[in-house]
Structure 1
Amino acid sequence: MPISPPTLKVQQLSNVMEEFLSLDSNMPVVQALIFLFVASRDLAQGVGPTGQDISEALKIDASRVSRNLARLAEAGLVERERGDMGVKRNTITTTGRKYLNHLTNLIR
């Protein structure tokens, strides 16, 4: 019996989360969401979001966003660059792009 489309989507999302956990078994879901948000904004707009952008869009406390961005930067997935007027922009790194491509292939 073929897998129904909703079941297949859940299975694909589960595979993506398992892959995040293989990178860091203690990675919180919020950290994965922040990575995906940074990647989508960076790739779509060519400018990485600020911590405040992320906090407002995902409804997450700014200090929690900052801690998770620091962890993503330590993992080499995100780069935090100080831009105009000292505002930090968050972009995905080359490693982050490769990882994102890998994740994208899991849901195709």
Structure 2
Amino acid sequence: MDILIIDDNSLHLKMCRILLEKLKHSVETVDSFSALKNRLASIKEPRVALVDFRLEPGITGVDVLNLLRKDTKWRMTKYIALTADVAEKGHLDGAGFDDIIFKPVTEELLAEILRKYE
């Protein structure tokens, strides 16, 4: 499955990429909101986008959702929020994400969540 990871933490990007590739997924990564906007036209629509909820100062995963959902190319993508803060669940419930993964991310957790979207 094609998966896009959008996260400003390079260690987390690398860890998620390794885990997803181990699960035989094709992975593309983006490390900032501006990089996403610049590369949007060239990124193949993924089946799933893993979006860090606190992407960078002043930018949240909701901003990413709003950007991507404006483009009909991204209409079939499933959006999964990534967060280390369990207290953010209330903010995420009505934000439009298809699912939530609480960090730290494990291979087993990724496999379980992604099975829903195969």
Q: TM-score, normalised by structure 2?
A: 0.31
Which structure has greater helix proportion?
1
After TM superposition, the score normalised by the length of structure 1 is: 0.33
Structure whose CA Rg is larger: 1
Task: Give the structure with the higher percent strand.
Answer: 2
